[in-house]
Chain A
């Protein structure tokens, strides 16, 4: 199997099939990253399209200096942040519910687990929104995308030490914010 960098270099040489292969590998991750970043299911696929369009358009200038995935998620982060900045801040849970248009949950029978997860999703999003930008990005990349501290440092263009500090500070804040949901015996543990 060819590496991401090899596929990107083939794209640079004009091979669109190589770019299709790259998208197949990464689009689901990017869609979900944007979805969790913005909590807007409807927009996440369109924004992911924008991310790949930017990557495709800049393929001509591509130089394999960093991992492809860190470059991709740097663009995904920028697109998500730009999108969030253009949206009214501090939406209530009801407002988020209205704007989100979450249709998936309505198609399956509602169980306690679904209700719990739906509620938790909103609590987690609000908690992550409360974090400073860099702490949020670091936590999201580590937790949901399985990035190493080194990879996050490439996305955030900072040192590995700084990334560790972002993750630790972010985790401490999340423990405080989500305290009622982390009680002994309740919810989901490790």
Chain B
């Protein structure tokens, strides 16, 4: 058997994974081969050498620390929305300014928007209404005359001076 194959068997020997028949093979080869004998010694020493890396003793209260970590995380999650709001605290002035602009905007629109005419009706507005009504009536009369070419048209609007 070649030394390379024997070395593979030697490692399995040291790992406790070799059948008795294979062990005999290794023992016989090692007796006559110095190189493999040295390899056998190194292989047998390997596992024990790895023990030179000592265990450490963890410092502090591991379990207590764990539950502290858990409660810190849970508090963070609970904070959720409120935490988000807290984050805006330093920008309170900006938020306040924006809110003011928004509210003032709404009031300005309410005072000067189209709904204002319905809210405050003055005598000037009444005159405007009469002019607009007359204009409307004249337009209707004109339109009716023009549309007459298409057949009989209801002119009752004109006759009655308003809607039936």
Contact = CB atoms under 8 A, between A and B. Distances in A.
Given A179-B42, A190-B45, A120 B53 contact: yes
A142 B37 CA distance: 25
A116 B52 contact: yes
A189 interface: yes
A172 B7 contact: yes
Interface residues of B, number: 37
A53 B42 contact: no
Nearest to A113: B52
A184 B41 CA distance: 7
Contact of B56 (A32, A167, A190): A32
Interface in A26-57: 27-28, 31-32, 35-36, 41, 44-45, 48-49, 52-53, 56
A28 B39 CA distance: 35
Contacts of A190: 44-45, 47-48
A36 B70 CA distance: 26
Given A117-B54, A167-B15, A188-B52, A48 B62 contact: yes
Interface residues of A, number: 44
Contact of A52 (B7, B48, B57, B66): B66
Contacts of A164: 15, 17
Contacts of B55: 28, 32
Interface string A112-129: 000011001100110000
21 contacts: A27-B62, A27-B63, A28-B57, A28-B58, A31-B56, A31-B62, A32-B55, A32-B56, A45-B62, A49-B65, A53-B73, A117-B54, A120-B49, A143-B50, A168-B11, A171-B46, A172-B11, A175-B39, A175-B46, A188-B48, A189-B49
> Closest 3 interchain pairs by CB?
A120-B52, A182-B42, A190-B48
Interface of B: 7-8, 11-12, 14-15, 17, 38-39, 41-60, 62-63, 65-67, 69-70, 73
